Amino acid sequence: MTVDYNTVFKRSIEDPNGFWGEVAESCHWYKRWDKVLDDSNKPFYRWFTGGEISTCYNALDLHIDNGRGDQAALIYDSPVTDTIKEYSYRELRDQVAGFAGVLASKGVSKGDRVLIYMPMIAETAIAVLACARIGAIHSVVFGGFAAKELAVRIDDATPKVVVSASCGIEVERVIPYKPLLDEAIRFSSHKPEVCIIFQRTMETAELIPGRDIDWAEAMVSARPHECVPMAATDPAYILYTSGTTGVPKGVVRDIGGHIVALKWSMKGVYDVNPGDVYWAASDIGWVVGHSYIVYAPLFQGCTTVLYEGKPVGTPDAGVFWRVISDHGVKTLFTAPTAFRAIKREDPSGELIGNYDLSRFKSLFLAGERTDPDTLKWAEAKLGVPVIDHWWQTETGWAIASNCMGLERLKVKEGSPTKPVPGWNLQVVDTDTKPVPVGEIGALVIQLPLPPGSLPTLWKNDEGYQKTYLDEFPGYYKTADAGYIDADGYVFVMSRTDDIINVSGHRLSTGGMEEVLADHPEVAEAAVLGVDDSLKGQVPVGFLVLNAGVTRDHGDIVKEVIKMVRERIGPVAAFKTAIVVQRLPKTRSGKILRGTIRKIANNQEYKTPATIDDPTILEEMTDALIKIGYASGKK
């Protein structure tokens, strides 16, 4: 039965206590909440205060108690190791309980932090859920991050234990993790007491006596641990996201609101029911992996797919269709980048015909704007609804989407459709006044944010308020610009800061600029994101060298590219830089990144009135043409 979107949305905004209170009834509580929405300490709103609940019980034990113990909970599919392994709810619960016992035996208890630096293997999900089982706060760091970035996160989270693996695999290349972890701990001021290492057969890590223990050996003698009831307002995890200064922000997710919102979203947004197979083709190191590989599908009693591979090359551009066919996937959630890569390798979609996709019902795309070509290609080749939806690390789930479990609305190219129930999205000007319909302004969300969104930053209430709340009083700043049309459809146009989106990964250009500027022969540097047909955006660097430098510019460029790779990691996709004589700036000294970006992307631009010297734009155009960007046309 179709549920009217407008009715549901209106109630979620006008009666949040009633709306979310009803949703919460479907979750297991040890102690019922005193308040659904606690607004006693504005702007730090909290959900389900006084309630006691367990993330792990709601993800695993509840379904076993309700008779789903033999149903598949998790399917690990790894084309890079030629492995497929299925865990029932009971099997997964037993593994999680065992590893929770290992953590407890090493002194980890409620509120302690555990940092997880792992590849896309089943043990990563087991480690995450084991933390939730004993009330520890996990902080997952994507395995592609370099040692210094990992060290920053170790120092901020101060974990008692680090869980890692001997290596990760990138297509056919083995990447040893343990040397990166050891180097990070050397860099960090905080020294974890214990490191638990999962040894993979393709690379054996050398363990440090007295600090490192072997996962498999520890599990042999593990005593299973029961779920620990937690306050609904306790932190579930910390997930670090790039800040505009290059300093990562520790996004906190609280337990009660997280369970309630994600469980609702599985049916409300994705139209997925208990027993369905759901696949988020992401990484657990990112928010999508947290929300929709590990947690939400299990809260809903679904089967979740954990995939270790790429959309192409493992072995070909048909691997996504193979996974969907093999496991009976109903809903796939991935980034537009993945589909651009598939489309590039198999433009006619011939490989799709080799697989049975009869159980596949919908494709959801997020992480960056879905370009019309990719949307049309996917719709034509797959014959299922293709849904572009918009959300952020901070929000934890979708701000705007075509809610397939409510009422399927018509698709408008370039729009993630309408705000999801709970999200009071508005468009305002710099004075926080509403802008006319259809005009671009700052996309903001009226407080309180719904359950599942961040209540604050880790150990940084002041930073949370300054970053997200101060600029537009009474609202959360998304840092995206856009508009809402006369039909209520949302259009997200661009970032309002210098975070760029590379293959769905939000990265700080400021952090990259700091690396470039650290080169001894670089006087000044700028990094900006330019449009890329595959990755959405890629970073391009501009270097101003110190006076008197006569060395070959090509060698310097190679060196700074290597520096970014070492310090930020391959995920930055930083491969292009050029030496320029100077950078275009305003009279006050601000680099005109927006203007450079328009030149690079062949967009119309006007010479800014505040520019220090207009002739520099011609020089910048020439430089961009040399590296394959810009046409020179205004």
The residues spanned by each domain of the chain are 86-228, 499-626
Residue linked to tokens 């919102």: 261
Fold classification of 86-228 (topology level): Rossmann fold (3.40.50)
Residue-level length of the chain: 634
Q: What is the dihedral of CA 154, 157, 158, 162, to 10 degrees?
A: -60
- Residues of the chain short of pLDDT 70, as ranges, are 1, 144, 242-247, 369, 494-501, 504-508, 510, 586-590, 608-612, 630-634
pLDDT at 589: 52
pLDDT at 245: 46
pLDDT at 244: 45
pLDDT at 510: 67
Question: Sign (positive/negative) of CA torsion 221, 224, 229, 233?
Answer: positive
pLDDT at 495: 63
Question: Sign (positive/negative) of CA torsion 197, 201, 206, 207?
Answer: positive
- From residue 479, give the alpha-carbon distance in Å to each of 399, 441, 442, 509, 625: 13, 10, 7, 15, 30
pLDDT at 494: 63
pLDDT at 242: 66
Peptide bond into 448 cis (omega under 30): yes
Q: Which residue, among 451, 490, 603, has the nearest Cα to 37 in the 3D structure?
A: 451
Q: Which residue, among 418, 412, 371, has the nearest Cα to 390 in the 3D structure?
A: 418
pLDDT at 535: 79
Peptide bond into 315 cis (omega under 30): yes
CATH class held by domain 499-626: alpha beta
Q: What pTM was computed for the model? A: 0.83
Task: Estimate to the nearest angstrom the gap between the alpha carbon of 385 and the chain centroid.
Answer: 23
C-alpha 389/C-alpha 395 separation (Å) is 13
pLDDT at 154: 96
Backbone angles phi, psi at 20, to 5 degrees: -75, -25
